[in-house]
Structure formats: structure tokens, C-alpha cells
Amino acid sequence: MRVLGIETSCDETGVALFDSKRGLVADALYSQVAMHADYGGVVPELASRDHTRRLLPLIQQVLDEAGLTRTDLDAIAYTAGPGLVGALMVGASTAHGMARALGIPVLGVHHMEGHLLAPMIEDEPPAFPFVALLVSGGHTQLVDVQGIGRYRLLGESVDDAAGEAFDKAAKMLGLDYPGGPLIARLAEQGDPKRLRFPRPMTDRPGLDFSFSGLKTHTLTATRQLEAAGDLDEQARADIARAFEEAVVDTLVIKCRRALDQTGLKRLVVAGGVSANARLRERLARETDKRGARAYYPRGRFCTDNGAMIAYAGAQRLLAGEHDELGIMQAVPRWPLASLAAPAGT
């Protein structure tokens, strides 16, 4: 089955073609980061308009790369949520319009299920079951994954997601959006011994996260150094290092607890923050200690992309799932745990 995947949940327009026999055939991505950087974050109306401009040319680009035409498609998958409702509607309406014209099935896919299954595209995919850490700008969750659609939420952020906290800390330090890569780059120059920030909710049992207090601590430290006239470039790097270390330690501690609690030996890490080098290094050490292994999507599939939607959609389309034509899905809030396993699996 050849499935076209469309991702338009936020600020990346992603398109990919997945073949159930050949694997990932082609993919393309357009990032709106430069456009939103001027505003310090995503502007929903601008995001929707840009998806409208970029989506059809990207679809044609992917088909050309694959050496196929639209009539060679067997199905279309699109991100139905969670995300910005206007952005979601661009992908949903395009997918349904194409599917109706071509007479093929179409399916709305859960964005976080796409992230969770992204490592399955790689040459050495993880086997079920595994623990998944989904860590991005909008979500920080630990999930017990027994199979597609068999998800048990172990813990999640009670306030800011880790990626959101990175963006806000970056803004405090005068860095552009998105903040994660810029904080990481600045932290490389930081002194790890100068400052130590709290590791939120690690002093109590449980697998939930909270990053709002860490954000406040970062703001306080920044203002104190500024008031003392000591907020130079080195101080900013030291703050970035302390902040990154606190987030990474928190995520690692919770992953360790999740593996111990479930007894599982496989950890999938996905979402934009999964690209953080310090996080990968620390998780590698922790999983090695436990005879476990961490799995990641390749770098360009850590952030939002069409490949993960094409793959996740293909698994459910092959099981017979599809939308009713003309009934589009655009769900801004959609709990991952509400998904069901494909019928007959």
C-alpha cells in the first residue's frame, strides 16, 4: 500500500510517501521557524496561511522524487490532532479533497502516535512492548506501549512541556525561537559547576513532570545576575547549562523510574527534544546500566514530519481503518490514551 502522509499540526509542513513493501520512499519538509522567530513563537494564523501555500507544491515534490503520480496512491493519511485547529484544517481538507477525487481511502492520524512510531521507520526498529518518552514543544509524556493503539499513560507534564520550557528560557536569555537548539548550543560554553537548578518533582514518587517552577527559577537567576551587573555572555551560558542539565536530569530520572516500574528493556524517545545531544548521552548511559536500549528516529524525524504520519497511517489503513469521505477530523486536544488498537489486532 502506498500512503501519502501529510503533517500540518503546527509550524512545519511535512509530506512523505510510505510504501508498506518498500518502506519510506520520499519525504519533504518546509519549516516556518524563520517566519515565526520574529514574533518569538508560533502565530496560528500565519502558520495556517503558510501551510496553504506550501502543501500542494510539497506533495508534487514528493511524488516527483518517488517517480509516481497521484493516481499511483492507494491512500492518504493526515494529522488530525492535536495541534492548531486552523493548521490541522489545511491538511485535513487537502487530504479529503484529494482522496475524494482519486477514489481512495483517507485517515486522520494522531500526531503523538506518529511521533511514538517514528523509530519504526529506521533500519533497526524497536519491538513491542516498550516505554516511550514523548518530549516536544507541546507534550511531555511517558507511555507504556504494548502495541499500536495499546497505550497506557504513565506520566505527563502538569504544566509546561519540556520543549515549551526551553523556548521560554531561551527568551529570558535573549535567544530566538525555537529555543531548544539555541539553549543547547549556548550551554556548551557554560560552567556546569557555577549554578545548579532544581530537578522538579524528582524528590517524590511518580512519573509526572513539572517545568513551570524551573522556568521561574531560571527567570529569578537571570534577573539577579542582571541586577548585579554580572549578566555577561559567560553568565548567560552558565544559566543555559544549568537549565539544560536540570531538564535532562529530570527526564532521565523519570525514564529510569518508568523502566524499573514496567520491567521493560526498550525505551523509545521521540519529539523535538529527543534530538538534544546531552539527553541522548545520558539516556545511553542509563539504559546500558540496565541492559536496556534506547531508540530514536533519525534527526530530521525528531521534529514534526510527514514520514511519521505516513507510517502511522499505513498501519491503521492496512487494518481497515479510514475516515468517512467528507467528514474531516481536526481535533486540537486529543489524549493519546483514548486511541484504540486497530480492529482484529
For the annotated binding site for Fe cation, the residues are 111, 115, 304
DSSP designation for 164: H
Burial of 176 (0-12, 13-18, 19+ CB in 10 A): middle
| Closest by CA position to 311, among listed 13, 27, 12, 9 | 27
Helix (H, G, I), strand (E, B) or coil at 35: helix
- Contact yes or no for 169/197 (Cβ under 8 A): no
Please, what's the b/e burial string for 319-337 (b: 16 or more CB within 10 A of its CB; e: otherwise)? eebbbeeeebbbbeebebe
Annotated binding-site ranges for substrate: 134-138, 167, 180, 276
Dihedral class, residue 88 (left if φ above 0, else alpha if ψ from -120 to 50, else beta): alpha
Burial of 308 (0-12, 13-18, 19+ CB in 10 A): buried
DSSP designation for 171: H
C-alpha cell at 250: 529530570
Annotated binding-site ranges: 111, 115, 134-138, 167, 180, 276, 304
The torsion angle over the Cα atoms of residues 32, 35, 40 and 42, rounded to 10 degrees, is -40
- C-alpha–C-alpha distance, residues 325 and 170, integer Å: 43
